[in-house]
Amino acid sequence: MKKSLWITLGVILLLVGVFVWYKYFFVFGEGVKSGYLNYAMKKGYIFKTYEGKLIQEGFGRGKTGTITSYEFEFSVDDPEVFKQLETNSGKTFDLHYKEYNGALPWRGNTKFIVDKVVNMK
């Protein structure tokens, strides 16, 4: 009886650990987004995180031939990358990001984490 209880507890802890890893630490995707940096700021009540928004231009669903803008909201975990973004607001950036399945409060408000600036114009 005692042995099966320990095995059940071990399996439950293992499943919870795998779920937490998959939800918050597994990199689901990564890529590069380009656009104009709308803002970069540090905010938060308990955990001060770096947040930003990139405005992408392109053809969207609307009237035929109209240009619509798309927004890419992201978080930054590296203070040096944030400093580069903060001092160059309004410029065009190519940002490399990682996409996670969930956001952690100390990592940022979004599941998209920018880890480096590829290009800036």
Residue 89: enclosing H or E segment and its boundaries? Answer: none
Share of the chain above pLDDT 70, in %: 90
Position 10 in a domain: no
Q: What one-letter code names the amino acid at 58? A: G
What range defines the domain where residue 88 resides?
Answer: 27-120
Strand partners, 57: 69
pLDDT in tens, 10-34: 999 999 999 999 999 999 999 999 9
Q: What is the mean pLDDT of residues 94-102?
A: 96
Helix, strand or coil for residue 91?
A: coil
- Range with the lowest mean pLDDT among 9-23, 24-38, 57-71, 103-117? 57-71
CATH number reported for the structural domain that contains residue 41 in this entry: 2.40.50.140
Q: How many CA atoms lie within 13 A of 81 on its CB side?
A: 21
Position 21 in a domain: no
For the chain, the domain total comes to: 1
Q: Is 52 left (phi over 0), alpha (psi -120 to 50) or beta?
A: beta
